[in-house]
Structure 1
């Protein structure tokens, strides 16, 4: 392992990582990252909205719980627990939570804007 990697946390235990409140419907938990990749849990209450936005990062999202209306570009689809979706760089996307749920987002490269 190089020196940079040896200083990074490699195990993330759920009960030791805090959640950041985004709004009354959404909480975020960063569970691992380095410069090239980041994984984030995003907990939604029914009615929560991940508003349409875009970013340079490639994103892959797994729906661990719940049901969501997912918009990517000009396409909308209802997805549920066990489904996943891929978002290319700079493509507009967003979600609407239809049932309480949990998304597992993976970004490449990591999201500097999520780190405070």
Structure 2
């Protein structure tokens, strides 16, 4: 299972997660996945955990990021790493865009 080799932003619709969060899957195979996640101010990525390693880059906006009970205010240009099975979540303080990379891929994000 894998995505197309090239991703063209204009040809891909945003998937609604909730009223303040949308996402686009940019590319993936079994080993890795990249996802753009757009947040409106006040959007909440609820505290959760998963088996995947995750690296997230903040491309736009400001977020309160909590990982394993430690909270930091991060903004455009900052990044964070989440090891497998650690509780984590975000609160969007200013409209923003996160670029998430997961290993292995998030099979639960793929609609069959």
- TM-score after normalising by structure 2: 0.96
Among 4, 18, 36, the alignment partner of 2:13 is: 18
Determine which structure has more spread, i.e. the larger CA radius of gyration.
Answer: 1
Structure 1's consecutive aligned runs of 4 or more residues displaced over 6 angstroms after TM superposition are: none
Distance 1:71 1:42 in 2: 17
Aligned residues: 111
Q: CA deviation at 1:82?
A: 0.3
Matched, 1:47 2:75: no
2:29 match:
34
Distance 1:96 1:22 in 2: 15
Runs (5+) with no aligned partner, structure 2: none
Distance 1:48 1:9 in 2: 30
RMSD, aligned α-carbons: 1.1
- TM-score after normalising by structure 1: 0.93
Runs (5+) with no aligned partner, structure 1: none
Q: CA deviation at 1:39?
A: 0.1
